[in-house]
Structure 1
């Protein structure tokens, strides 16, 4: 009787397994898959698995303060905060120049960033609407229903809203969190630093909160 060593038994089992693998067609399948894999360019594989990607960020939108430029921007859309900002720009600044509209949007965004005000666009815009004429933005508490009648004007200010929310910055108000029209002179304006005059609006910054705003 022939006695097989452990090594011989293992070799025989491995040979049998190879025969089964070949007979089952798995060997041919493996070769086809290997051939397909080898045909894919290395660069495509690296991109698929996110290897060696540069991670470049999209460049900020270069803002141009013209209606012609705004008209080249796709129609804007968004959620509740977008709707609040677009509405605020329509009722507060639709008669302003495009630069003036960006300035008002910038003030509202600066308020969201400041610890002095609520931390969302809708909350900032609707702050103090419980009493007539005791709110931050008069159109929200003047007792009149907000009706958008100028479609083109609303489409344009909506684009301004979307651009500002998406990170387009201008710095034209130098950190302002307040503004008023040149037709009035509110008492609070004496307490703040005037930063700009754009169109019919004067802009102010509360320097007590400037550090928090810049962080």
Structure 2
């Protein structure tokens, strides 16, 4: 059984640094001509970040999923399968969309690592304080075009998985191999980033 770590603190990086996160799939670019279904919220009306589950906030290393206390988290796949279906709050839809476009072809560990970067950014005090704000921040995620995400096939297995992983990333109910990361890029490129490398998970390299 794995345990979740507490989120990392704010980074000692200058405000002048701005890095573009590079998508691994290229799926967002392919779908750019389709009608977008997830548009960025107006800047003046950015929603507040959803709170952590109280059980996780009180104990950053829960033994079980806070949303499903009866389900033992013996594997990430089991925890994904145990997530509820149904409508998502706007913030979790933004988080799931980023996981979908950045990492839908990755393993569950890879998808979770990407999701945790967005959660970490929203809670860091150095980025917009909501998942939608982080995802739609200018020049950060290459799949975002015109302040909107490309169309998503909401009936697909890949989307359902991204939704489940988004819930887990938000709750902090499973430890990512890249805990504490605020940045990542595709392993096929080598940007000159003066950052601390944390881990490589699938085709992404993560930093703080």
Identify whether the pair has TM-score above 0.5, normalized to the shorter chain: yes
Instruction: For 2:157 and 2:120, locate their aligned partners in 1 and report how far apart those are by CA, in whole Å.
Output: 26
| Corresponding residue of 1:137 | 141
TM-score by length of 2: 0.60
| Corresponding residue of 2:76 | 65
Shift in Å, 1:142: 7.6
> Aligned pair 1:122/2:125, yes or no?
no
Larger relative contact order (CA 8 Å, sep ≥ 6): 2
Secondary structure of 1:95's match?
Answer: coil
Provide structure 2 residue ranges, at least 5 long, that are not aligned to the other structure.
1-53, 57-61, 66-72
Instruction: For 1:71 and 1:170, locate their aligned partners in 2 and report how far apart those are by CA, in whole Å.
Output: 17
Provide structure 1 residue ranges, at least 5 long, that are not aligned to the other structure.
1-55, 129-134, 206-215
Shift in Å, 1:63: 6.8
Instruction: For 1:71 and 1:119, locate their aligned partners in 2 and report how far apart those are by CA, in whole Å.
Output: 29
Q: 1:161 to 1:57 in 2, by over 3 A?
A: closer
Shift in Å, 1:145: 6.1
CA RMSD of aligned residues (A): 2.6
Q: Which has a greater percent of helix?
A: 1
Instruction: For 2:97 and 2:182, locate their aligned partners in 1 and report how far apart those are by CA, in whole Å.
Output: 18
Larger mean CA deviation between 82-91 and 163-172 belongs to 163-172
Consecutive aligned runs of 4 or more in structure 1 exceeding 3 Å deviation: 56-60, 142-145
Q: 1:76 to 1:203 in 2, by over 3 A?
A: farther
| Corresponding residue of 1:196 | 199
Instruction: For 1:161 and 1:146, locate their aligned partners in 2 and report how far apart those are by CA, in whole Å.
Output: 18
Shift in Å, 1:110: 0.7
Secondary structure of 2:190's match?
Answer: coil
Instruction: For 1:81 and 1:143, locate their aligned partners in 2 and report how far apart those are by CA, in whole Å.
Output: 15
Q: 1:120 to 1:185 in 2, by over 3 A?
A: same
Instruction: For 1:74 and 1:127, locate their aligned partners in 2 and report how far apart those are by CA, in whole Å.
Output: 29
Cα distance per residue 1:155-180 (max 9 Å; x no partner): 01101111222332414213110001
Shift in Å, 1:71: 2.9
| Corresponding residue of 1:182 | 187
Secondary structure of 2:140's match?
Answer: coil
> Aligned pair 1:103/2:113, yes or no?
yes
